[in-house]
């Protein structure tokens, strides 16, 4: 799937895009062998799109309500990523589930970052779920995306302590710091060929 020496990334983001920024920074610094070819958002006002433009990265807004069926929307997303030459799709705070048809278009080369130590606390509000459960350790997980909700093969994880007086905000901030380190690290493992999506439960690792 590689084109040239670097892995071409398409990033999908709905919001602030701080994980996107971490990827942009590490790509620009040459610490990961990848470049972000396009940033796509379902929200035309997403700060993620501004970040892309600031770094001269193609920025595309695709609004869900301008498409009929979900399949048509997902097709448009996949078309945009493919036309930009994406080898790997990185979900970075993208607030929609991507369909199996979308995943098939990229043959499993789709990754996500989740703010919990999966399989604990999949889905929305993972940090609140962790606090409500009362765990003492949470963290973040980079994984390949499959048809389930945060169930795909794990690439890397990082543990984060939960403190007695944590709120959703303080815990989320502590986890986010680790996300900004973990996501580029995982992308670099993929870029150098050390990890790829397998057909089974686990990613294929050679590191």
Interacting residue ranges for its own copies, rule: CB under 8 A? 117-121, 132-137, 139, 153-159, 164, 201-203, 205, 207
114 catalytic per annotation: yes
Q: Whole-number minimum distance, CB 182 to its own copies, in Å?
A: 10
Instruction: Using the minimum distance from each CB to its own copies, give the nearer residue, 4 or 207.
Output: 207
Nearest residue (CB) to its own copies, 73 versus 121: 121
In the complex, minimum distance from the CB of residue 199 to its own copies, in angstroms, rounded to a whole number: 13
Residue with smaller CB distance to its own copies, 19 or 141: 141
Residue 112 structure tokens: 């996500």
Contact at 8 Å (CB) between 127 and 167?
no
Q: Which of 110, 123, 97, 90 is nearest to 21 (CA)?
A: 90
Within 13 A of 206's CA, how many CA atoms are on the CB side?
Answer: 8
> What is the DSSP secondary-structure string of 63-94?
-GGGSSSHHHHHHHHHHHHHHTT-SEEEESS-
CB of 121 to its own copies, least distance (A): 8
Catalytic residues: 114
């Amino acid at each position: 799937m590689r084109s040239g020496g670097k892995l071409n990334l398409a990033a999908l983001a709905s919001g602030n895009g701080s994980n996107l920024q971490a990827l942009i920074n590490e790509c620009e610094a040459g610490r990961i062998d990848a470049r972000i070819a396009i940033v796509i958002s379902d929200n035309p006002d997403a700060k993620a799109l501004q970040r892309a433009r600031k770094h001269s990265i193609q920025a595309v807004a695709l609004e869900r309500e301008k498409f009929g069926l979900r399949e048509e929307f997902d097709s448009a997303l996949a078309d945009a990523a493919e036309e930009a030459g994406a080898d790997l799709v990185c979900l970075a705070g993208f607030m929609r589930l991507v369909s199996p048809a979308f995943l098939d278009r990229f043959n499993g080369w789709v990754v996500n970052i989740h703010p919990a130590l999966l399989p604990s606390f999949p889905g929305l509000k993972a940090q609140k779920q962790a606090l409500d459960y009362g765990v003492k350790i949470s963290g973040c997980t980079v994984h390949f995306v499959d048809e389930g909700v945060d169930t795909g093969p794990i690439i890397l994880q990082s543990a984060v302590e939960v403190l007695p007086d944590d709120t959703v905000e303080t815990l989320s901030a502590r986890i986010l710091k680790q996300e900004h380190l973990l996501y580029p690290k995982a992308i670099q493992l993929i870029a150098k060929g050390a990890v790829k999506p397998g057909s089974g439960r686990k990613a294929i690792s050679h590191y």
